[in-house]
């Protein structure tokens, strides 16, 4: 469960980064293909950079939110499964005692 949460977080982070890079590359390609004066291209590129900054801020907030949610999920799983190691520590000596008792 914990491993799957870590893998999901890693894949999600990589996918978000790849999508952002693809979007930036696509935007640059589209602007460069336009047959407009350089002044207009510069204004478009400036606006594109502003949008990229907004997207980067959103992605940072989104990643932070997802990381916190995954951390809370992990802690909830850990809290609910905390009894398992404690019970196993009690059960193993019982079986070990039965083995020793049967050998005598």
**Range scoring the smallest mean pLDDT among 21-25, 66-70, 96-100:** 96-100
Q: Which residue has the higher pLDDT, 34 or 102?
A: 34
Closest Cα to residue 45, out of 28, 33, 57, 23?
Answer: 28
**Residue that wins the pLDDT comparison between 66 and 101:** 66
Structure confidence at residue 8 as a pLDDT band (50, 70, 90): confident
**pLDDT cut 70: percent of the chain above it:** 86
pLDDT at 103: 60
- Dist CA 72 CA 2 (whole Å): 12
- DSSP per-residue codes, the chain: -HHHHHHHHHHHHHHHHHHHHHHHHHHHHHHHHS-S-HHHHHHHHHHHHHHHHHHHHHHHHHHHHHHHHHHHHHHHHHHHHTHHHHHHHHHHHHHHHHHHHHH-
Residue 101: which pLDDT band, with cuts at 50, 70 and 90?
Answer: low
How many domains are there within the chain? 1
* pTM of the predicted structure, to 2 decimals: 0.49
What domain range is 67 assigned to? Answer: 2-103
């Amino acid at each position: 469960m914990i491993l799957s949460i870590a893998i999901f977080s890693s894949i999600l982070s990589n996918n978000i980064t790849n999508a952002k890079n693809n979007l930036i590359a696509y935007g640059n390609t589209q602007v460069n293909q336009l047959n407009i004066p350089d002044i207009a291209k510069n204004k478009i590129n400036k606006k594109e950079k502003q949008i990229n900054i907004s997207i980067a801020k959103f992605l940072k907030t989104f990643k932070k939110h997802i990381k916190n949610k995954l951390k809370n999920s992990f802690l909830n799983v850990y809290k609910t499964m905390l009894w398992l190691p404690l019970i196993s520590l009690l059960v193993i000596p019982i079986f070990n005692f039965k083995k020793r008792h049967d050998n005598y």
